[in-house]
Structure 1
Amino acid sequence: MAEQGGTPTASDEEQVWSWGAGTDGQLGTTTLQDEYLPKLLSLTSLPSISMLACGGAHVIALTSGGKVFTWGRGNSGQLGHGDIINTCLPKPVSFFNDYVITQAAAGWSHSGFVSDSGCLFTCGNGSFGQLGHGDNISLTTPAKVSYFVNDSVKMVACGMRHSLVLFAGNQVCGFGSGKRGQLGVSSDKTKSVNLPCVVSGFEDVEVVCISANGDHSAALSATGQLYTWGRGFCGSPDVQTPQCLPSSLSFREVALGWNHALVLTVDGEVFKLGNTLNKQSDKQQLQVDSSKPLLEKVSDFDGVRVLQIAAGAEHSAAVTESGEVKTWGWGEHGQLGLGNTDDQTNPQLVSLGSIDLRRKEIKVYCGSGFTYAVKRKQQLPSSPIFL
C-alpha cells in the first residue's frame, strides 16, 4: 500500500491477501463473492497496517500511526461509521481522528478498540450487553466504556456475543452473553450482563493475554499457563470459571474457534483442543474425559517451528518459520485458500506466489469463514497480542 512522500510502495513494503467468504465485502475486494484462492489486494487508500482483527463478517485494520479502518458487514453498526451499511473497501473510522488506537478486536457483530491512553471503546450489536455500557442498545459509532475511566485497559477480546477486557492490575472483566459460562463471573450460569464484571480465579495470576471466540474464553499467564472457560470442548461440560490446563508445556499464543482452540508453545509446537471439523463421526471417536480438556499435538508440524497461529469459526491457520502459510478445517467458503471448498483434516500449504522473505514476515488472521495474510517488513503483532 503506497504512502505519500516517496515511501516504499506495496510491492516492496507490504502485501495483503484475502480469501474465503466475501459476500458482505469482508475480503476488501470490489466484488461481493467468495474467493477460493488468495487474492492479492490493491488497497491504496489504506496506510501501513500494524494489525488486523477479523470478526463474523467484518475486518478492523489499525495503521502504524494508530488510525482505524473497517470494512465488511455493517448491519449492526460494528464498522463504527455511524450507519448500518456494508462497506467493501477499507474506510477510516472518523470518530478516532483524535485518538491513537493500539489494539482492536472483532466479534460476530461488535467491535472493541483500545487507545494508547488505556481507554476502551465499543460499537455494534449490544443486544446481549456485549458493549459494556450498562444497557442492551446497539451503537453505530464507538463509545467509551465508562467502567474503565479510572483503569488503564491493556487489551480487548470479542467473542460471538461477549467481550473480555484485560486492564490495570492484570485483572480480567467479562460482559455480554454468559449462558455457557464464558464470562467467568460466578459458579452459577449467568444469562447475560451489560456491565463489566471481574472474572473469578485470577487473583494470584499475572494474566498477559486474553482471547474470545464463539462461546469460549481463554487467557495466558506470564508463566505460559493456559486458562479456559465457557463452552466445553469435545462435548465436555461447560466451565463457569477459568480452569488451568494441566500441562507441563509453556504456551505463548492461543487462538479460539467455535468448537476448537489452538495453542502454540514457546518452542513453536502446535496443540489443539476440540475439533476443527465438528462432525458427528469425529465426536463418536473421541474418548471424552470431562475432568479436563483434550489436548492433542498437531503432528503435521513435527520438526517444523511454527511462529504464529489463527482460528476462524471452524478453520485454522499457521505460519511456519520458513514463511509458509498452512490451513486446515472447514472449507465451504474457500477459507482454506486451496482453490476449492473441500474440508481438510491436516494442514495444507497455501500458495501466495513468489515471496521474498528477507527482512520480512507474514502474519495470518482468520474471520468466521475467511482468511487474511499480511506480509511486511516491520513486525506485526498477532491477534491476539502477547506481551
Structure 2
Amino acid sequence: MFGLTICFWRMVFMNGLFYMCILSPDVSPVRHATCIFFANGAALLNLFNVYNFTKRVEILDMLQLFIDYGEDEGSSICAKDTLADLVMKLGCYSSIILPLCLTILGATMSCEAPFVGAVLIDCSVQDGTHLLSKSILTLFDLWMNMFELTNAFWSVFIVLFPGIRFILDSLGYLVACDSAIISEDGKLYTWGRNDCGQLGHGDTKTKHKPTLVKHLSDYTIVNVAMGRGHTLFLTDYGAVYSCGSDKMGQLGQGTKGKDKLTPSKIDYTGKPIVRMACGADFSMIVDIGGGIWSFGSPEYGQLGHGTDGKLLEKANKISFVCEKSPRQITKFVEKNKQVATPITNVSIADVKCGTNHTIVLDDKSHVFTFGFAGYGRLGHAETKDEMVPRQVKQLENFRCVISKIAAGSTFCLAAATTKNLYFWGQTKSSGEATMYPKPVLDLSGWNINNIACANKSIMVVADDTVIAWGPSPTYGELCYGDGQNKSSTVPKEAKPLEGIQILDIACGFGHSLLIAKDLTPEDRERIAKLPRLP
C-alpha cells in the first residue's frame, strides 16, 4: 500500500507540474493530451517497477524511441541498457526523474533543413545536449516537439547540399551521434552531437545543420573518423588532426584529460596516413607503408599492444595506462589450440573499429581481430579477449578473397570477391551469438560494394540495391520508408531507394547517410520523388 500511495501522489505532482508547463495560449491540444499521457505514464512506470509487472516492458518498448545514449563516468546507456534498466536504476525516484532523463538522453530533431544537394538522410538521431541549464518549460517543449515528429523517424528525406564528394565513416553505437561530409573542394562540414567539441567548431553547441569547420579551411580534407566523443581528420598530405574528448588520450596529441574544442595535429612524425578508424574511446591510423598505429584506451586489449592497460591504483579502484600518442602495433599471431604463432611481414590495407574491438584486413586478404571478445564479435569461437591482432582462421576455410570489412558495436562483417558476405557476433539482445564467421545466405551471389554498420543495424550496397536489416529498436536508419516496419532481423531491400544509384553510405548510432548519383536528368528525377525536409 505504501508503494501505491507514493505512486498516487507522484501522479498528482506530475499532473500539476505539466499543467503549469502548458498553461500557454500557444500550446496545441495535441501537446496538452500528450503531456498528460506522459505525466501519468511516468508514475505508472514506477508503479509497475514496484510490483514487477511484465507489462512494464511493453510500455517501455513504446518509449524506447526516445533514448539515444548517455554517459556516466565513461560507461554508456545503450541498447543493452534499455529504459527498463534505467527505471530500475532510478528506483523509487523514477516517476520524477524519468521525464527529465528522457528529454536529456532522447533524440531531438530539427525541422530546419535549408540545404540543397544530393545527400540522402535517413532521419533519426540528433542529440539535444546541455539542456540541464534550461527551464522545465524548454525541456518540455523539446520533448513534445520530439514526440510530434516520431512519425517521420523512419522516412528517407533529401537534404540538398551542393558539391558533395563522399560521406565519411561514422560508426555505430559506437559512437557517433554526429555526422560529417566533405565538399568537392575538400571543405569539411559537421553537425550533430557536440558535447565534447568533437565537431571542431571551437564550442560545445549541438549543430542542427551542416556547418563549415573553419579551423580546417586551410586544408584539403579527404577523410574523417568519428568516435563516441572524438573525431579524426585526414588531409590530402596524410596528416591527421583531432578534436573532442581526450579523456583516454584518444586524440593522440600526447596529452590526456581536457577536451579539445578545435582540431590540432596528432603527435606523430611517421609516414603519411591513408586510413583511420575510431572506437568508442580509442583510435587507429594506417600509414602508407601498411603500418598500423593505435592510441587511446587500452581496455580489453583493443589497442593491440599485448595488454589491457589495467592498473590497480588502490583498493577497488582500477585505472588504465592509456596511449596518449600513436604507437605502432608490431605483433600479429595465428592460434592453433591456444598456441600462438607470430605472423611476419603484415601490411595493413584497411581497419574498422567497434565499440571496444578492432578488425583489420592485410594486403594478403587475411583478417585479424582483437579487443573485447564478448558475443563472439572477434570470430574465434571463444569469448577470451585478444590483446594482439589474431588471424580469423575460420575465414580461411571458405577459400575466398576478402575485399571489405566492417564493424558494429558487437559484430563484424567481411565481404568476399566470391559474392559472399560473412557475419559473426550478435546484433540481437537475445538468442545465441554467432561465434565464428558464417555466410549471410540472403546475400549469396550479390556483389557487395559498400558496407556500413550502426549500433545494431547493417546497411549494404549490393549490386545496385540498398539492403538493410537490424533488430528492434531501430530509429529509421534502415530506409524502409513511411508506413513500413522500422526493423527486420533478415536482410530487406530499402524500397524508397529503388532505382537510385547509391555511391557511398555511412552510419552513426541510429542514423545513416547516403550519397546518390545525380549526374543525369533521370538521376535527379528519381531523387526528386523522395520526400524533402521542410
Instruction: Classify the TM-score, shorter chain.
Output: 0.7 to 0.9
1:36 equivalent in alignment to 2:153: yes
SS at match of 2:123: strand
> What is the Cα deviation at residue 329 of structure 1?
3.4
Which of 9, 22, 38 is the matching residue for 2:126?
A: 22
Asked if residue 103 in structure 1 is aligned to residue 223 in structure 2, the reply is yes
One-letter identity of the residue aligned with 1:42: V
- Structure 1 Cα separation of the partners of residues 412 and 155 of structure 2: 24
Q: CA-to-partner distance for each residue in 1:330-387, whole Å, 9 max, x for gaps?
A: 4332332335675422112212255354xxx432211112122221258xxxxxxxxx
Instruction: Measure how far apart 1:115 and its partner are.
Output: 0.7
Structure 1 residues 55-70: aligned runs within 5 Å: 55-70=175-190
Match of 2:499 in 1: 355
Match of 2:384 among 217, 237, 245: 237
Cα displacement (A) at 1:82: 0.3
Could you tell me the percent identity over the aligned residues?
Answer: 22
Pick aligned residue for 1:312 from 444, 454, 458: 454
Go from structure 1 to structure 2 and tell me whether the alpha carbon gap of 1:318 and 1:41 turns closer, same or farther (over 3 Å shift).
same
| Other structure's SS at 2:492 match | strand
Question: Residue 400 of structure 2 aligns to which amino acid in structure 1?
Answer: L
Contact 1:162-1:176 at 8 Å conserved across structures: yes
Letter in 2 for 1:364: I
Q: Which moved more, 1:62-71 or 1:182-191?
A: 182-191
Q: Which moved more, 1:49-58 or 1:333-342?
A: 333-342
Q: Which among 432, 440, 448 is matched to residue 282 of structure 1?
A: 432
Q: CA deviation at 1:257?
A: 0.8
Q: Greater relative contact order: 1 or 2 (C-alpha under 8 angstroms, separation 6 or more)?
A: 1
Gaps (5+ residues) in structure 2? 1-112, 130-144, 311-319, 333-343, 377-382, 520-534
1:10-159 equivalent positions in 2, closer than 5 A: 10=117, 14-24=118-128, 35-44=152-161, 46-54=162-170, 55-136=175-256, 137-148=258-269, 150-159=270-279
Distance 1:164 1:274, change over 3 A: same
Partner residue, 1:384: none
Q: Find the counterpart in structure 1 of residue 324 from structure 2.
A: 194
Cα displacement string for residues 212-251 of structure 1 (whole angstroms, at most 9, x for unaligned residues) = 1200111111121111111115251111000111113221
Match of 1:118, SS state, is coil
Distance 2:288 2:261 in 1: 28
Indicate whether 1:262 and 2:383 are aligned.
no
Give the number of the structure whose residues are more often strand, by fraction: 1
Q: Matched residues in 2 for 1:57 and 1:253: separation?
A: 24
- Secondary structure at the residue paired with 2:432? helix
Deviations 1:306-334 (CA, angstroms, capped at 9, x unpaired): 22211111111111103233233343323
Q: Match for 1:38: what amino acid? A: S
Aligned to 1:290: none
1-side partners of 2:160 and 2:486: how far apart? Answer: 29
User: Is the 2:500–2:516 contact (alpha carbons within 8 Å) kept by the matching residues of 1?
Assistant: no
- CA–CA distance in structure 1, aligned partners of residues 473 and 406 of structure 2: 18
Comparing 72-81 with 219-228, greater Cα deviation is found at 219-228
Name the residue aligned to 1:214. 355
Q: Which moved more, 1:341-350 or 1:308-317?
A: 341-350
Match of 1:385 in 2: none
Partners of 2:237 and 2:369 in 1: CA distance: 29
Q: Aligned partners of 1:38, 1:362: CA distance in 2, in Å?
A: 20
**CA RMSD in angstroms, aligned pairs only:** 2.5
Q: 2:299, 2:498 → 1: CA distance?
A: 47
Q: Which residue of 2 aligns with 1:381?
A: none
Q: How big is the shift at 1:187?
A: 4.4
1:161 touches 1:176 (CA, 8 Å); kept in 2?
Answer: yes
Per-residue CA deviation, residues 122-151 of structure 1 (Å, 9 max, x unaligned), is 001110110011211211100001323x43
Q: TM-score, normalised by structure 2?
A: 0.61
Question: TM-score scaled to structure 1, two decimals?
Answer: 0.83
Question: Whole-Å Cα distance in 2 between the matches of residues 75 and 173 of structure 1?
Answer: 27
Q: Note if contact 1:36-1:336 (Cα within 8 Å) is conserved in structure 2.
A: no
> For 2:255, what is the secondary structure of its paired residue?
coil
Contact 1:181/1:230 (<8 A) preserved: yes
Structure with greater proportional helix content: 2
Cα offset for 1:254? Answer: 1.0
Task: Report how far residue 271 of structure 1 moved.
Answer: 0.7
Higher mean alpha-carbon deviation, 338-347 vs 240-249, is at 338-347
2-structure distance, mates of 1:301, 1:154:
30
How far residue 41 of structure 1 moved from its aligned partner, in angstroms, is 2.5
SS in 1 for 2:274: strand
Unaligned runs of 5+ in 1: 4-8, 26-30, 287-292, 379-387
Alignment-mate amino acid for residue 488 of structure 2: Q
CA contact (8 A) 2:166 2:515 kept: no
The count of residues paired between Structure 1 and Structure 2 equals: 351
Aligned partners of 1:212 and 1:256 also within 8 Å: yes
State the structure with more CA Rg. Answer: 2
1:266, distance to aligned residue in structure 2 (A): 1.9
Query: Aligned with 1:95: secondary structure?
Result: helix
**What CA deviation, in whole Å up to 9, does each residue of 1:171-220 have, x standing for no partner?**
11111111111100124545322121111325511111111120011111
State the one-letter code of the partner of 1:350. A
